């Protein structure tokens, strides 16, 4: 059985010697494996809710691509994917249970406007210009900062607004 899997997927073949059939078989197996990874991982990691979630997305894509093209051993890469998803799951559980760990891993929202007045220091720290802030406000249907009770730069990089 292992010999058949090796022949079909080209597991013992150098990357440059992988054939069309090997790549098709690797793509099918990787596709199914990634469906499992996505189902096991928290749903929001695909939405790139925070940098924490985005990192997993990038790493999964990188590892999967190398495994498919023969840059790394296929099944070792699948194990690596499982470890990454397990770490993400464990870290997300830890951030759920610990606000300290959540702040460490995911960061904090930044208050940008309070009672209609933009906080210049917060904007500077977030590397946001007044034009960037205005764009974020317009995306929520607000034209003027004076129409805002509170606006925050959320951990996912979006501006959230509480209107008057």
Q: Residue 72, Cα to own-chain centre: how many angstroms?
A: 22
- Which domains, ranges and CATH numbers included, belong to the chain? 2-103 (no CATH), 108-163 (3.30.240.20)
% residues pLDDT > 70 (the chain): 95
Q: What is the pLDDT of residues 78-126, one digit of tens each?
A: 999 989 988 988 988 999 999 999 999 888 999 999 999 999 999 999 9
pLDDT reported for residue 46: 63
Q: What is the pTM of this model?
A: 0.70
pLDDT classification of 149: cutoffs 50, 70, 90: very high
Dist. CA 128–CA 125, nearest whole Å: 8
Task: Mean pLDDT check: name the lowest of 25-29, 51-55, 133-137, 140-144.
Answer: 51-55
Instruction: Give the relative orientation of helices 74-97 and 99-106 as an angle to the nearest 10 degrees.
Output: 130
Q: What is the pLDDT of residues 41-72, one digit of tens each?
A: 766 666 657 777 888 888 989 999 999 899 89
pLDDT reported for residue 17: 87
Bridge partners of residue 159, in order along the sequence: 153
| Edge-to-edge strands, sheet with 110-114 | 117-118, 110-114, 148-153, 159-163
Contact 151, 136 (CB under 8 A): yes
Residue 3 burial (10 A CB sphere; 0-12, 13-18, 19+) = exposed
User: How many alpha carbons lie under 13 Å from residue 67 in its C-beta half-sphere?
Assistant: 24
Dist. CA 34–CA 142, nearest whole Å: 40
DSSP class of residue 163 equals: E
């Amino acid at each position: 059985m292992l010999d058949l899997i090796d022949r079909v997927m080209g597991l013992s073949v150098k990357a440059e010697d992988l054939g069309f059939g090997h790549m098709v078989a690797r793509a099918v197996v990787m596709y199914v494996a990634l469906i499992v990874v996505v189902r096991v991982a928290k749903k929001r990691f695909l939405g790139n809710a925070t940098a924490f979630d985005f990192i997993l997305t990038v790493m999964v894509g990188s590892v999967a691509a190398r495994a498919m093209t023969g840059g790394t051993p296929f099944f070792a890469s699948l194990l690596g994917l499982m470890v990454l998803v397990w770490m993400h799951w464990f870290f997300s559980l830890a951030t759920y249970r610990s606000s300290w760990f959540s702040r460490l891993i995911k960061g904090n929202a930044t208050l940008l406007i309070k009672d209609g007045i933009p906080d210049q220091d917060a904007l500077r720290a977030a590397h946001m210009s007044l034009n960037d802030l205005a764009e974020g406000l317009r995306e929520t249907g607000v034209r003027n900062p004076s129409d805002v009770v509170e606006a925050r730069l959320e951990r996912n990089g979006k501006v959230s607004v509480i209107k008057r």
